[in-house]
Amino acid sequence: MPYYKIWDNETRAHRLVHADTKAQAINHVAAPVIQRRFSVEVARTAAVVELMATGVAAETAGKVPAPDQGSLDLPPPVPAHLDEPARAEELA
């Protein structure tokens, strides 16, 4: 099982997570934040109709959301050069 280095793109804080997959590692770190910020339930037909009537598009999990679905105020992706592994002296 590999270790995954995960960092917060805003604070640059690092975490080291031992997990089978990248998805498990990010879920381990992000789950508490996600559970505080978001709620989820199965949408009843009436809710689907109401939301779509107000312009909320249906999304498919695992697919990139449509550009107009940015209403959750999520930060933009980090530029590729910031995804490079940090050197030891940068972490000190």
> Is residue 87 assigned to a domain?
no
User: Per the domain annotation, does 39 fall within a domain?
Assistant: yes
Residue 18 inside a domain? The answer is: yes
Task: Answer yes or no: are the C-beta atoms of 57 and 69 closer than 8 Å.
Answer: yes
What's the residue count for the chain? 92
pLDDT at residue 83 tops 80: no
Band (88; pLDDT cuts 50, 70, 90): very low
Flag whether 63 is in a domain: no
User: Looking at the whole model, is its pTM more than 0.85?
Assistant: no
72 belongs to a structural domain: no
The whole domain housing 18 covers: 1-58
Q: How many domains does the chain have?
A: 1
Cα 36 from chain centroid?
Answer: 13
What would the mean pLDDT of 76-90 be, rounded to a whole number? 51
What distance in Å separates the CA atoms of residue 21 and residue 18, rounded to the nearest whole number? 9
